[in-house]
Structure formats: structure tokens, C-alpha cells
Amino acid sequence: MQNVQRILLEKISELEKQQKEQQSKTNSDQLSKMQNDQKILLKKISELEKKQKQKKRKAILNFRQNYWEANDCDENLEIIGENNHIVHYKGDYKGWRSVFAKHQIWLGNNFSDIFYYEISIGKMNDYLISFGFGIIQKTEESYKSVRNNKETYAYESNGCVWINGERKGSKDEYSYCIGDTVGIGVNSITRQIFFTKNGLRLDFSDFFISQSFARDHYYPFVTLATFDDKIEANFVPIFMFDLATL
């Protein structure tokens, strides 16, 4: 009887040993699988970050230096600053006055698939009279208020956007004033226009530029409204808004 009991105990002990070994092997396999899955996930994250950096680098390399054209602006405005990026309203009365950038927007294979620029508001003397900025197909009549012009795409300080000369959207929280930085951009592949405020993209997602945009001459512009208004533009790709998020 004791012999049989001893044999049974030995078998139980052996079985428990086998179970522990099997459990250990299972745990090891599971751990190995988890580690392998983690490596795959980290690799995917690394590849995604690399693609985002490449996309951002491409945008940076393809941007063309630009500045406000002192010989192509209303007489009540002056272009100042080392790089001609600052526009100042020197007139002594109220009224919309516009200036255009020196170079037109270039999009496509030879330059950039994305055009974008920002302005920062330095001075703004009358919050009841809005001013704005954007892109426009320039004409001889484009030197005052340009928002009603065809082929004009603008973002005004009262929070309104104008698409192809028509008011299409307005939100109070999108208004801007002294200290704010706002931007406008175009994706040449989708023809979608986007607007930003202080580094955040605004919720205007269904606006598109004319199909003629790629072949016609469009320029950045800004329109000031009252004496001593002042803005500074940024045409180089060190923006508050991160283009890699597009």
C-alpha cells in the first residue's frame, strides 16, 4: 500500500513538474510574442515619424522666399523691415488699402505641393473695421478692399472667410487681433484651402480654389483698414502651424 502511494505521489510530482515546465514555456512564448509585436509596432511608429519629417522637409525645401512689393501697394501703406515683411498703414484716415507680394504663388512638381504663409498682428486701432489677408488673382482694381473680387480667397479679422469673392463662413472664435498669428494655405493636389489661427487649423474644410489656380497668377495680399495698423508676414517655412500635420 505504501509502495503504491509512493508511486502515485511520484507521478503527481512529475505531472506538476511537467505542468510548470509547460507553463514556463507558454509564458516564455507569450513574452516572446509580445516583445516581437512591440518591435513591429515601434518600427511602424518610427517609419511614420520618418515620413512626417520627410513631408515637412519637402515643404521646407520647396518654399520660395517672398516679400511685400513696395512698388505695388496703395500710397497710404508703407513696407518696412529688413526683409520687407512688415506693412504699416501710414494714412491719417480710415479705409481699406492693400498690398501684394513680390512673387506669385508657385505650385506643382517644380516647386511645392503646398503653399502657405502667416501674418502676425502688431497693431490694430479699430476693431469695428475688419482687415484681412489671403491670396488673389491680381487685377488693376485690386488695391483697396479686395474681398469682393472674383478669384479672391481671404480671412478677415472679424472671423469671416471669403471664397471666390463671396462670404462663405464666419465664427466669432475665429476673429483675430493684436498678438494673434493667422495663416492661409492651399494644397495643390486637392485644391483645398485651409486657414489657421495661432498654430491651429480652423474648421473650414469644404472650401476649394478655382481649377484655374495652377495656371493663373495668384499673389499673397494683405488689406489694412485704419491709421497705424501694422502686420508682419512670414513667407518662410518656420511657421506657428505645423505643415507636417496636414
pTM more than 0.75: no
- Residues 19 and 57 occupy one common structural domain: yes
- Residues 160 and 117 occupy one common structural domain: yes
Which has the higher per-residue pLDDT, 59 or 180? Answer: 180
- pLDDT tens per residue across span 190-243: 788 899 999 999 987 677 777 666 556 789 999 998 889 999 999 988 899 998
Cβ neighbours of residue 218 closer than 8 Å, sequence gap 6 or more: 104, 105, 135, 136, 137, 138, 151
DSSP E strands, 62-216: 68-73, 77-80, 86-89, 97-101, 114-123, 132-137, 152-156, 160-163, 166-170, 181-187, 192-197, 200-201
- Residues 41 and 160 occupy one common structural domain: no
* 46: its cell numbers: 518610427
- Residues 14 and 45 occupy one common structural domain: yes
Whether residue 132 is contained in a domain is answered as: yes
- Residues 77 and 49 occupy one common structural domain: no
- Residues 202 and 161 occupy one common structural domain: yes
Please state, in angstroms and rounded to a whole number, the distance separating the CA atoms of residues 244 and 111: 17
**pLDDT class of 74 with cuts at 50, 70, 90:** confident
- Residues 22 and 72 occupy one common structural domain: no
How many domains would you assign to the chain?
A: 2
- Residues 86 and 177 occupy one common structural domain: yes
Q: What residues are paired with 224 via a beta bridge?
A: 97
- Residues 43 and 143 occupy one common structural domain: no
- Residues 38 and 71 occupy one common structural domain: no
Whether residue 125 is contained in a domain is answered as: yes
Domain that holds residue 19: 1-62
- pLDDT tens per residue across span 148-204: 677 788 999 999 888 887 888 778 889 999 999 999 998 877 788 899 999 999 987
Reduced to 3 states (helix: H, G, I; strand: E, B; else coil), residue 108 is coil
The DSSP string of 19-31 is HHHHHHHHHHHHH
**pLDDT class of 110 with cuts at 50, 70, 90:** very low
- Residues 136 and 32 occupy one common structural domain: no
Whether residue 114 is contained in a domain is answered as: yes
